[in-house]
Structure 1
Amino acid sequence: MIFFINSELQLPQDFEDDVVQEVLKTGTDLRQYSRQIEKELKEVENRSIQDYIKESQNIASLHNQIAACDNILERMESMLMNFQLDLGSISTEILYLQKKSVIMSQQLSNRQLIRGPLSQFIEDMTVSETLIMGIMDAPVTEKEFLLQLQTLNHKINFVKEQSYKEAKSCQDVKEILEKLKIKAMSKIRTYILEQIYKFRKPMTNYQVPQNNMLKYKFFFEFVLANERNVAEEICGEYIGTMSKIYYSYFKSYSTRLMKLQFEEGATKDDLMGVEDTAGRGIFHKNSLKNRGTVFSIGNRADVLNIQLEAPIVVPHTASKVRVHVSIALAACCGRSCQSAE
Structure 2
Amino acid sequence: MRGLVKAHLESMHRRAVDVVERCRCSYGFWASPSNYRGQLWLRDLYYSLRGLASLGYLREAATQLQLTLRAVGERGEVPDYVVPQPKASLSARSIVGLLMDSPYRPWAADTPLLLLIALRGGLKLRLPGQLSRKLKLVEDGVERLRDPSTGLIKGCDYRDSLLFDLPLLSNQVDLYLTLKLSGRLSEAERVRQAIEELYFSEELGYYRDVPRGHRFDVLAHVKLVSSNALDGRRAELVAKSMIKASTPYGLLNFYPPYTAAEVWRSWAACQRAFKASWGLRFLSSRGVEANARGSYQNATVWPFVHNLAVEALLDLGFEREALRNFIKLRGFNEYYDPRTGEARGSRDQLWSAATWISTYERLVEAGLL
Higher relative contact order (CA 8 A, sep 6+): 2
Structure with the higher strand share, 1 or 2: 2
What is the TM-score with the length of structure 2 in the denominator? Answer: 0.22
